[in-house]
Amino acid sequence: MDKAYIAVFSIAILFLLVDYFRCRRRRGSGSNNGENKGMLQLPPSPPAIPFFGHLHLIDKPLHAALSRLAERHGPVFSLRLGSRNAVVVSSPECARECFTDNDVCFANRPQFPSQMPATFYGAGFGFANYGAHWRNLRRIATVHLLSAHRVRGMAGVVSGEIRPMVQRMYRAAAAAGVGVARVQLKRRLFELSLSVLMEAIAQTKTTRPEADDADTDMSVEAQEFKNVLDELNPLLGAANLWDYLPALRVFDVLGVKRKIATLANRRDAFVRRLIDAERQRMDNGVDGGDDGEKKSVISVLLSLQKTEPEVYKDIVIVNLCAALFAAGTETTAMTIEWAMSLLLNHPKILKKAKAEIDASVGNSRLINGDDMPHLSYLQCIINETLRLYPVAPLLIPHESSADCKVNGYHIPSGTMLLVNVIAIQRDPMVWKEPNEFKPERFENGESEGLFMIPFGMGRRKCPGETMALQTIGLVLGALIQCFDWDRVDGAEVDMTQGSGLTNPRAVPLEAMCKPREAMSDVFRELL
């Protein structure tokens, strides 16, 4: 027993000594001498504890904890998360400085050991460091997956998937006997988002469910992929302690890395099945048409693979498609779910949006892509939703590749950058009544020039922004056009946020859905 006590005590002393000299070296770099003190001044920092640094201050949701710290320590402050240094930015001016003056410097991603299996060991599109490999992935994505022409063509695909969703919701309401159905929107929105991407990426469709009860309102494919993301995303967003304390990596008693690896394998197997099916179709002479923009994304990439096999390897195709599926399903469904939550709590705004759609589109057909430029108030609702509830409240973390300065502070190389998007977009110095849902603030260009970065900024900005906004607008518009909505039992919708890399609702939204009589001709056509 005495030996065990001595061993534990010795390890504790060792950790404290390492921590002491590390902090001393860090302080020395910040105040080298009188001449360099101002130039190398580090951002302010809360009191830290040995070995752990500021890990004890991390709470869920993380963006809220960081907002509270920013109130005490300013718009730029530093944290020591175990063995990692981090800087948190919470003001528009400082965020703009990070992604303009220091854009290249902050273009890297921190590499977390527990997440390696899910990020293609640091080579994944969203997680790769800035360099030739990432630039090639970005080029392929923007040219072949997210070109302006392809995105415009996607409007028809989205509209085609909206029709069966509306049809199933209408049937669910009819089956309820009273003409009103209680629906969990997230499931149906995820199903639609995945169906759109499967048609665009693999030119295939999900298996349509025949029933409309709560357990079978999703296709087999959507349920499979949703289960993977539901389990994987919280693990990627969690502060796995041994990612920050290397000495603990040998323990991993919860098997986090093994769980992430298993889920990543399931995600990649889903994508590989689509690739193999498309390759088989191409081998059989079915190539999806002569127009490259009408071909599936996988078909285009496999065609390129024949001419440049060293560039378009199978792993690159899996990498890109997995990134598109992960980024384009959960986040799109999440934004529409937040928008509907806000509208249910603000029925006057919902009524105004419905009146705009009725006046511009009418009741004889479903909303389509050509209508979107004429629905300015709907666009205001989407902008206000993204301001209040951005899908990535801290973006994906960045990391500095060289020493730089932010707001006059010295930021050493290798520092993780966390940009608190929610704090920036709810800054009371910028936005009047920042926590209120007021779409009107975006009317007539009143908010033009005010800083918003729900999709990021600079080189690492999300390239799927245009596609996401188009899908969100069409789906949200159709939900408003086709149905009357009400809260369950009249109770206020709980707006509590969940946690993770993304910004889910803590509790999935359920609402009462009633088909509008004014749309009866459209419903008859759908049936």
Residue numbering of the annotated binding site for heme? 462
For 1, counting Cβ atoms within 10 Å of its Cβ (0-12 exposed, 13-18 middle, 19+ buried), the class is exposed
What is the spatial distance between Cα 85 and Cα 527, in angstroms, rounded to a whole number?
Answer: 59
What is the spatial distance between Cα 355 and Cα 363, in angstroms, rounded to a whole number?
Answer: 11
What is the spatial distance between Cα 167 and Cα 161, in angstroms, rounded to a whole number?
Answer: 10
Neighbours of 199 (CB within 10 A): 18
First to last CA, the chain: 76
> Position of tokens 């969690």?
238
Contact (CB, 8 A) for 392 and 504: no
Work out whether strand 483-487 and strand 510-515 pair parallel, antiparallel, or are unpaired: antiparallel
Q: How do the residues of the chain divide into helix, strand and coil, expressed in percent and rounded to 5?
A: 55, 10, 35
What is the spatial distance between Cα 31 and Cα 35, in angstroms, rounded to a whole number?
Answer: 9
Q: Is the dihedral of CA 461, 256, 184, 205 positive or negative?
A: positive
What is the spatial distance between Cα 126 and Cα 106, in angstroms, rounded to a whole number?
Answer: 14
SS (H, E, C) 129-187: CCCHHHHHHHHHHHHHHCCHHHHHHHHHHHHHHHHHHHHHHHHHHHHCCCCCEEEEHHH
What is the spatial distance between Cα 477 and Cα 5, in angstroms, rounded to a whole number?
Answer: 66
Q: What are phi and psi of 446, to 5 degrees?
A: -65, -30
